Copies of this chain bind each other. A is one copy, B any other.
Amino acid sequence: MSVTTPKGFAAAGVTAGLKPSGKPDVAVVVNQGPDQAAAAVFTTNRVFAAPIKWSREAVADGQLNAVVLNSGGANACTGSEGYADSAATASRVADRLGLIIDNVAVCSTGLIGVRLPMETLLPGVDAACTAVSTDGGASAAEAIMTTDTVAKQASVSVDGWSIGGMAKGAGMLAPGLATMLVVLTTDAVVDAGALDAALREASRVSFDRADSDGCMSTNDTVIAMSSGASGVTPDAATFQEALTGICVDLARQLIADAEGASHEIAVEVIGAASERDAVVVGREIARSNLFKCAIFGNDPNWGRVLSAIGVTDAAFHADELDVSFNGVMLCRGGQIGEDRSKVDLSERYVRVTVDLHAGHDSATILTNDLTYDYVKENAEYST
């Protein structure tokens, strides 16, 4: 159940010493082939980190042999020196593993605006390259954790081929709470173009619909690599379904471990005139601090849901809106519905359903509540 579940992949996670805690902080995932197809999606933040610039160029030709990842520093807002540091990291992996530097992607996560201590990082890269093994997936997943409390992994096997994945971050692709890094591997035979299309579609309905705190990271990256080692070429629909499943699974794990969260919230918008409208409304609700605080307080405050819907440009009439909490319709036709006392929010999982009564499209945004612990973690993170 890791990035080394599919055949043709090796990985490792080691401690270089970037983190004061002494926990693992450098990971390498290697595609041993025979194929080397790759695709990636990156943060859309216009202020992006040096490794984003490096990896965009590395994956541009649809080929990657390895990804090197570090926690303990984002290497963002570090200028041309920071870019040289990313290049040096990729170069070291290429040297140690006999690869071409342009086929090595780099991911970094941690504090923005601090140079990476290369004298500490590079020996860690050496150690990770030495340690790579076909059962090293779990150690790699552990080495990319920052404020994560658990490592996130997933895998699926279908008709002789499989997909594996790991993720870190308490957030999402766009926007991201903390940096989200995801590496996906498969031994299915999938060319770079098909992999790219499948990855974009899977990300759109998974990571792009997880919204922890509305803040977009400078470093978010999702990379997919195919080794083709199974020798099996799946049909496109089957592969898409499996890849989307893995991405949704990882997105749920990210939200479940979001910083300080005490509730996981699925905001389901139905009856929308378009899927875009459903996403816009769901995201606006998921970003309302007032709504998120209410859930933390076990308060089914549907008025805060309506006030969030009201700032969007989605198609709806205010006097047709229905809002349910865990299946109890507290607001019917924009007015008072069932009594609030019928809703119990003491469980961790909360489902809020909004019916716009404007069409037949729908979307679900995953988010979490706003808690004392969120404030604490983010007030103290860099100090």
List A residues at the B interface (Cβ < 8 Å).
44-48, 74, 76-79, 111-115, 175, 177, 213-218, 287-290, 293-294, 296-299, 301-304, 306-312, 316, 318-319, 321, 330-331, 333-336, 370-372, 374-383
The contact of A112 among B115, B307, B371, by CB within 8 Å, is B307
- Say yes or no: A293 contacts B214, CB within 8 Å: no
The reply to whether A301 and B215 contact each other, CB–CB distance below 8 Å, is no
Say yes or no: A294-B379 contact (C-beta < 8 A), given A47-B334, A112-B306, A310-B216.
yes
Contact of A48 among B303, B310, B331, B376 (CB under 8 A): B310
CA distance A249 to B91 in the complex (A): 58
Interchain residue pairs with CB less than 8 A apart (26):
A45-B307, A45-B310, A46-B309, A47-B306, A47-B310, A47-B334, A77-B335, A77-B336, A78-B336, A79-B333, A79-B335, A112-B303, A113-B302, A115-B336, A175-B311, A215-B290, A216-B311, A217-B307, A218-B306, A289-B378, A293-B379, A294-B378, A294-B382, A297-B379, A299-B379, A299-B380
* Contact A311:B113 (CB < 8 A) given known A77-B306, A382-B299: no
Residue from A216, A310, A377 whose CB has the most chain B CB atoms within 10 Å: A310
Closest to A334 in B: B77
CA distance A301 to B110 in the complex (A): 13
Across the interface, name the chain B residue whose C-beta is closest to A79: B335
User: A297: shortest Cβ distance to chain B, in Å?
Assistant: 3
Contact across chains for B375 and A303 when beta carbons are under 8 A apart: no
B293–A336 CB distance below 8 A: no
Q: A290-B215, A293-B378 are in contact. Are A303 and B45 (CB under 8 A)?
A: no
Q: Which of A113, A307, A310, A379 has the most CB of B within 10 A?
A: A307
Which residues from chain B contact A46 at a C-beta distance below 8 Å? 309-312, 316, 318
Contact between chains at A309 and B383 (CB < 8 Å): no
Assembly CA distance A310 to B115 (angstroms): 20
Q: Which residues of chain B are near A331, meaning CB under 8 Å?
A: 77, 113
CB distance from A377 to the nearest CB of B (A): 8
Question: In whole angstroms, how far apart are the Cα atoms of A178 and B259 in the complex?
Answer: 26
A295 to B218, CA, bound (A): 20
Q: Which among A113, A287, A312 has the greatest number of chain B C-beta atoms within 10 A?
A: A113
| Set of chain B residues within 8 Å of A216, measured between Cβ atoms | 307, 310-311
Contact B336 A114 (CB under 8 A): yes
Bound Cα distance from A374 to B370, whole angstroms? 10
The distance from the CB of A107 to the nearest CB of chain B, in whole angstroms, is: 16
CB of B374 within 8 A of CB of A293, answer yes
Q: CA of A78 to CA of B79 in the docked complex: distance in angstroms?
A: 55
Select which of B218, B301, B310 is within 8 A of A218 by beta carbon. Answer: B310
Q: A46-B309, A216-B310, A294-B381 are in contact. List 13 more A-B contacts (CB 8 A).
A: A46-B318, A77-B331, A77-B336, A79-B336, A113-B336, A217-B307, A218-B307, A289-B289, A290-B378, A293-B374, A297-B380, A370-B375, A374-B375
